[in-house]
Structure 1
Amino acid sequence: MPKPDELLFALKTFTGAMLAFFISCWLGLDNPYWSMATAFIVANPYAGAMRSKAVYRFFGTLIGGTAAVVLVPNLVNAPVLLCIAMALWVAMCLYIALMDRSPRAYTFMLSGYTAGIIGFPSVTDPSHVFQTALTRCEEITLGIVCTTIIGTIILPRSIGPVLARRISSWVKPGVDWASAALAGDGESQAAREARRRLAFEATDTAMMVSQLAYDVSNMQSAVRQVTRLRMYVISLMPILSSIGQRVAELRRLDALTPKLKTVLAATDQWVQSGKADGADALLHDIQTLDHDTPDWGGLLRASLALRLEELVRISSHSRQLRRFVTEGAPPPPASPALDAEYIAITKQNRDHKLAFLSATSAAGAVLLVCALWIATGWAYGAGAAIMVAVACSFFAAQDDPAPAIAQMLRNAVIVIIGIFVYSFAILPRVVGFDELYLVLLPAGLMTGVLVSRPATFGTGMVIGAVGATQLGLGNGYHTSFVPFADSSFSLIVGLGSALILTRIVRSVGAAWSAERLMRANWRDVAAAAQAALPHDRAALTGIMMDRLGLMMPRLAAVASGADSAASGVLVDLRVGLNIIALHREQWRLPPEARRCCELIFDGIAAHYQGNARQPAPDALMHALDSAMAALMHDALAHRAALMVLSGLRSVLFPEAAPPIFQTHSQALVAE
């Protein structure tokens, strides 16, 4: 049974659609049903998401209409060229949309198939294409305005509290993982589960954050703070991974000093308290730890102390930010030094190959249907071409769009049956707008309820949009079976063609996409090793963690490999961050150590250009050991470089025996 809030949303959506239809009829617009269809397409249970989508749909319609006005009159006498131009426009817009990966991408996707919606039916009468484009923009704008106004002023549902709850849900997996890492159990089942959940939550909320600026809650002005909080959480993940591995290795070597054990216990207690208070005292204890043994255990303790300091600083600031966002507490003071040194920046992965494949398959499907249209002279061929462009664009971001297109085809058949009943059994008896509202209300409520549920959102949107356009209501009721059958057949042909072409050309598996994401990370690590100048550590963290967020649901859908994938990405990220730090330090090193660094860079680049799942070569471990041995004679002066080198050895060779430095050099101490 629908819940009260679902029924309220459905009623608001349907009322907005009917209001837009009424005004369109009153204004004498050509196709008032487009206003209805737009209302269902724009509808969203959350006011912020609906308002953002409304803005993007308006501009997408404007751009697509302009493209149709430019292309159709100039190429109408060359149908083949016109079809090629339309297909290329759809492909170009789709490619740009897939490169964006934000709500703004809807503008570009819509620009592509809107040109077809306006342009293809205008081929037979190009002299009116400008009027058609203008009318279509007016109809769509009416649908946008009506549904947005009603959704905003009548008991709007804010995305702010939902996002606040999602942010609060980060706390438990973060605390669980941190506690496990501090105990040296960073690879336990509980830690892996917490790591997977935290990675998913921190990356999955990116879309909600981008819609927050359009929200109606008091969190509308907190977009920058929420974004920073996400970046803090993402930046903590490689730090927790590093802490867990170092504590485990120190326990294995029996090299945990009593004072370090005390600090680890105090840090765990502070983490579980959930409070920002006490961070300064804990930092003081960490900074006064002694690392006075010039051996592998001393290096591990010193590097662990650095990671603990980063953990406390970032956690303290993120807790203050979280209280500001979720509880309205005073905002924390700015921390430019922290942001500049440790915090990731928002950087999204862009898969050019997959985007090009999607764009090419969409263009090919459009051209195939256009060829059928031209060859047969089918009067309703334009409808099939439109549906191909729409279907190939809607689901292009999925690894395998075919199941979604098949579901859309099944929904379309159901809609056609429902429209047949309405068109020939119910609507002929309707004589006024009030009666029309009442007879359409059950279908409108059902569609609105489907839209209100995340699991059936796409189904509801398709049923509402396709149903409104197939019903084809206008100022008067005129229908006959032949146009209805032709229109329905064009809908099925268009979706069926999109499904067949997608299965042949475009469908790829989730495992294939996950592998591409993993190899993209490897390429970035290899590029960081080969770079003449150090890469940006914040950008590297941002893009690799973004890829991790994309990988997690894919691997969870095909196998139990999400745990190992998360661990692998964090290992690769730690290698990349240490490489960047080593690039910065190598110019301060003596000649022998610099030569070793070049061998290290070449070895890591070769390892990641091949198959990084294989163990790193022993020659790379020898280069790391030689570089550290060359610096141990003056360990205090080269403390930062030694931390980096020990970090690389620890992450690349976690099971290797500890190195033995043949030196009686000055001890490594914390500053």
Structure 2
Amino acid sequence: MTWPSWRDWLFSLKAFAAAMLALYIALACGLPRPYWAMTAVYVVANPLSGATVSKAFDRAFGTLLGAAGGVLLVSLFNGAPELLMLAIALWTGSFLYIALHGRTPRNYVFMLAGYTLPLLVLPGVDAPETIFELAVARSEEIILGILAAAIIGTTIFPRSLRSVVDGRIGAWLGDAGGWAREILLARGADPAAPVARQRLAADIAPLSALISQLSHDAGTRDIKPHVLELRGRFLFLLPLLSALADRMHALRLELGAFPPGLQALTERIAAWIGTPVEAADAAEPDRLRAGLAALPGPADGPLWTKLVWTSLVSRLSELIDLWEDCLTLRGRIGRQGAPQRWRPQLRHRPVVGEELHHDRGRMALAVASTVLATFLAGLLWIWSGWADGANAVAFVAIACCFFGGLDRPAPSMKFMLVWSAIAYAFTSLYLFVVLPRIQDFELLVLVLAPPFLLVGALIPRPELSLLTLLLAVNLAGDLGLQGRYSAEFASYTEGGIAIMAGLLFALVWTLVTRPFGEEWAARRLMRSGWADLAALASGARPFDHRALVSRTLDRLGQLMPRLAAMASPSPAALEGLAELRAGYNIIALQRDRRALPPEARAAIDATLRGVADFFGRCAADGERGAAPEALRGDIDRALRAVFALEEAGPRQAALDALVGLRRSLFPGVPGPAGPGFRHRDGDRPALASLAAE
């Protein structure tokens, strides 16, 4: 591990200054628990000023929501401890369920509201008449802490999100450009998308999280529309590259070798994509488009080969448009005061979708586990009569909320248990050896500086985020700094035992009720994808391109990290982009079948029924097998029926979709031949639409 940089030390100094400012004001105002203000600073502290402000708003709202809920529940169930405990458990589980629907830091509001209530209510449940004053004090101290963090973070050497966003975009474009060049230079050798490349879907999630914080950063408000547009194009670039690799492979399969003229042009496109932005020739995209338009297709051969050629040329044209849009948007994002209006090259349909995939079965299991753990721990506390057991129950709720969204919460809970114990032991040295000798605030600041500055300097490192959060919050909270020194060793020890008991209960409970891991979650993701395609093909789900690409790529983004953690992932899980292409073509067929004559429409309906049956069986069995030969026969019969039509518009769109569907389901099988697939005089296929992936 490298030593923290000067930026890390500067951030740590700012966070410590904000914590000491909040503590000083809380002490001066006579607030009952000043250490809550200090703790709040480290909870919201972030090297990026916009992220600090965003989290400060979220924490303030979550705290107020939890405090209001605490006052309400205590007033309703005063005198009925079991019912109160059940209400607290249901409150915690309900807000966890809402939080699990989020993919951005905004879900922190609901998670915080969920565990703030038991943390606030349970220690003071024996004195219900004080709950309102306690809720007000908690809110005041938390808001004081987050205001101190936000003010210092935005006024003293603020660090804007702009450079971070630009860096994330540059890294993603670099990886995506590397994959595009591999495809273009491979000459159709291997259409499969490696796991490392499909993992680009997961890399979009951090950018989505940053987008939610742009409005809170004065230096990035002007670029948010551009970042949203760019994110949409990122989402669409992945299936486009997958389709491009597939069409190049299909053409090589039909012709036996890649055409030299097309090879030269793909090499030029690859060179353009690999050119640094600052050295790029602005006229090169237009020259590449002209080269594509002048490229002669195969003069002779089956119509299938001509359709594959046309589809490939369409994909290359769309890649040029999409990549030029990405470069234009990135340039505008990197410039301060960039104009808002711009003219995209890819204009024929929207590419931004917001629909996400939620595994509500997993979410329900996490919520049920949290509710039962909190309720049962509460009943054990009530029936035992243990005075400090309230803290144990509160930490059960905190641990279950914090790690409820993980596939395997137990390792993180064990980590929390171990490091909370270490922090508690370390704090005892300060509390009973150092602090009794402190007489003024200035000396207190000096003795607190070494541990907090060291921990603060490590907060910017993502791999240490959980450790640093645990250390900072436990050090600040366990010290329990107040207006006068009143620490008692017996009380401190019993409080520590209660915290460890709560974390241990949550760990054991989770090991028993949630023994699953990444493989189980990955299988559920794959099955939901197959069920989605079956519903599209059967007509049970409304078809929407934007929803399909957003939902499927979100599912793929969740799947890729889990596959990386698995020892031997299923081969069926390694080509999620092919299934996305299948979904595009199913939607196109559902849309265009109505405009076709009865015979062709009947053939397409038979194909869609076969697709629905196939993916339905995959979802039911939990395994993706080979598509049946009968389904290939259905697709070929539909192709023959559509080939026989005279109308150009719906005929060409249906042909494009059938070609794409056949390629996604039978990538290694040559195209159909025989009667009905001969090229007719004057029958020149138009460029394939973007829907036909």
TM value normalised by structure 1: 0.94
Counterpart position of 1:151: 153
Instruction: Give CA deviations for 1:541-579 in whole Å, capped at 9, x if unaligned.
Output: 11111111111111112236499745x210100000001
SS in 1 for 2:100: helix
Q: Is the 8 A contact 1:235 1:342 kept in 2?
A: no
**Comparing 445-454 and 589-598, the one that deviates more:** 445-454
Change (3 A) 1:397 1:340: farther
The answer for the alignment partner of 1:348 in structure 2 is 356
Question: Residue 288 of structure 1: CA displacement?
Answer: 5.2
Letter of the 2:182 partner, please give it. Answer: A
Please give the per-residue CA displacement for 1:51-91, whole angstroms capped at 9, x wherever unaligned. Answer: 11110000000110110010112212100000000000000
Please state how far the C-alpha of 1:635 moved relative to its aligned partner.
6.2
Paired AA for residue 254 in structure 2: L
| Inter-partner Cα distance in structure 2 for 1:559 and 1:327 | 44
- Give yes or no for the alignment of 1:173 onto 2:175: yes
The 5-angstrom pairing of residues 189-204 of structure 1 reads 192=194, 195-196=197-198, 198-204=200-206
Distance 1:124 1:46 in 2: 42
Residue 233 of structure 2 is aligned to residue 232 of structure 1? yes
Q: What amino acid is the match of 1:125?
A: A
- Flag the 1:591–1:451 CA change in 2: closer, same or farther, 3 A: same
Q: Note the 1:2-81 alignment, pairs <5 A.
A: 2-81=4-83
Compute the displacement of 1:535 (Å). Answer: 0.5
Match of 2:491 among 483, 488, 492: 483
Paired with 1:473 and 1:33, the residues of 2 have a C-alpha distance of 5
Deviation of 1:478 (Å)? 0.7
Counterpart residue number, 1:651? 664
Contact 2:549 2:580 in 1 (8 A): yes
- The one-letter code matched in structure 2 to 1:518 is M
Q: Deviations over 1:181-222 (max 9, x none)?
A: 234556759963762453343333221222222235x33321
Q: Could you tell me which residue of structure 2 aligns to residue 443 of structure 1?
A: 451
CA distance in 2, matches of 1:271, 1:456: 35
Distance 1:90 1:506 in 2: 18
1:425: how far off?
Answer: 0.9
Rounded Cα–Cα distance in structure 2 between residues aligned with 1:658 and 1:368: 62
Q: Decide whether the 8 Å contact of 2:395 with 2:499 is kept in 1.
A: yes
Cα distance per residue 1:514-537 (max 9 Å; x no partner): 221122211211111111685111
Structure 2, gaps ≥5 residues long: 688-693
Question: Which of residues 563, 567, 573 is equivalent to 1:559?
Answer: 567
2:279 matches 1:279: no
Letter in 2 for 1:247: M
Residue from 469, 475, 480 that aligns with 1:467: 475
Residue 624 of structure 1, aligned match among 635, 647, 655: 635
Matched with 2:606 is: 599
Match of 1:5, SS? helix
Output the CA distance in 2 between the equivalents of 1:78 and 1:5.
53
Alpha-carbon distance change, 214 to 560 in structure 1, aligned in 2, over 3 angstroms: farther
Call closer, same or farther: CA 1:481–1:493 in 2, change over 3 Å: same
Tell me, in whole angstroms, the C-alpha distance in 2 between the residues paired with 1:412 and 1:195. Answer: 38
Q: Is the 8 A contact 1:213 1:220 kept in 2?
A: yes
Provide the C-alpha distance between the structure 1 equivalents of 2:596 and 2:624, rounded to a whole number of angstroms.
31
Distance 1:658 1:70 in 2: 68
Residues 460-498 of structure 1: per-residue CA shift (max 9 Å, x gap) = 111222222222111100121221111111111111111
In structure 2, C-alpha distance between the alignment counterparts of 1:427 and 1:84, rounded to whole Å: 40
Equivalent pair of 2:188/2:250 in contact (CA under 8 Å): no
Name the count of aligned residue pairs: 669
The Cα of 1:371 is off from its aligned counterpart by 1.4
Pick one of 94, 97, 122 that aligns with 1:95: 97
Q: How does 1:238-637 map to 2 (within 5 A)?
A: 238-254=239-255, 259-273=261-275, 275=280, 277-287=283-293, 289=295, 290=297, 295-327=303-335, 334=342, 338=346, 341=349, 343-531=351-539, 535-559=543-567, 561=569, 565-566=573-574, 568-611=575-618, 613-634=624-645, 637=648
* Aligned mates of 1:370, 1:413 — CA distance in 2: 22
Distance 1:2 1:317, change over 3 A: closer
Distance 1:158 1:582, change over 3 A: same
- Change over 3 Å in CA distance of 1:64–1:532 after alignment to 2: closer
From the superposition, tell whether residues 600 and 550 of structure 1 become closer, same or farther in structure 2 (CA, over 3 Å). same
Distance 2:13 2:357 in 1: 39
Partner of residue 670, structure 1: 686
Structure 2: distance between partners of 1:651 and 1:116: 51
Task: Give the CA deviation at 1:653.
Answer: 0.8
Name the aligned partner's letter for residue 436 of structure 2. Answer: P
Distance 2:196 2:77 in 1: 58
**Is the alpha carbon distance of 1:418 and 1:189 closer, same or farther for their aligned partners in structure 2, counting shifts above 3 Å?**
farther
| Pairwise CA distance, 1:41 | 0.9
Amino acid aligned to 2:183: A
Q: Which runs of 5+ in 1 are unaligned?
A: none
User: More displaced, 267-276 or 402-411?
Assistant: 267-276
- Residue identity in the other structure for 1:153: T
Whole-Å separation in 2 of the counterparts to 1:636 and 1:308: 26
The SS at the match of 2:87 is helix
* C-alpha distance after superposition, 1:416-457 (max 9, x if no partner): 211211121111111111111111111211221232321212
Question: Aligned partners of 1:596 and 1:336: how far apart in 2?
Answer: 38
Contact 2:253 2:670 in 1 (8 A): no
What displacement does 1:306 show? 1.9
> Following the alignment from structure 1 to structure 2, what is the Cα–Cα distance between the partners of residues 161 and 560?
38
- Using the TM superposition, name which of 73-82 and 360-369 deviates more: 360-369
8 A Cα contact 2:71 2:131, kept in partner: yes
Amino acid at match of 1:595: A
Q: Report the Cα distance in structure 2 between the residues aligned to 1:472 and 1:660, rounded to whole angstroms.
A: 80
Shift of 1:384: 0.9
Partner of 2:652: 639
Contact 2:201 2:235 survives alignment (8 Å)? yes
Q: Deviation of residue 622 (structure 1)?
A: 0.8
Distance 2:340 2:315 in 1: 22
Given that 2:388 and 2:495 are in contact with CA atoms closer than 8 Å, whether structure 1 keeps it comes out as yes
Aligned 8 A contact 2:199 2:560 in 1 = no
Aligned partner of 1:412: which letter?
Answer: S
Deviations 1:612-667 (A, max 9, x none): 62111111111111111112234671111111111111111112232114145342
- Paired residue type of 2:247: R
CA distance in 2, matches of 1:194, 1:533: 31
Alignment root-mean-square deviation, CA: 2.4
- Residue 332 of structure 1: CA displacement? 8.2
**TM-score of the superposed pair, with normalisation by structure 2:** 0.91
Cα distance change of structure 1 residues 314 and 292 upon mapping to structure 2, 3 Å threshold: same
8 Å contact kept, 1:530–1:605: yes
Native 8 Å contact 2:201 2:554 kept in 1: no
**Using the alignment, how far apart are the partners of 2:661 and 2:362 within structure 1?**
33
Distance 2:23 2:667 in 1: 66
Conserved? CA contact 1:174–1:194, under 8 Å:
no
Would the aligned equivalents of 2:191 and 2:245 in 1 still touch at CA under 8 Å? no
C-alpha spacing 1:194/1:469, structure 2 compared with 1 (3 Å): closer
Shift in Å, 1:404: 1.0
Give 1:6 deviation, angstroms: 1.8
Q: Distance in 1 between matches of 2:233 and 2:164?
A: 20
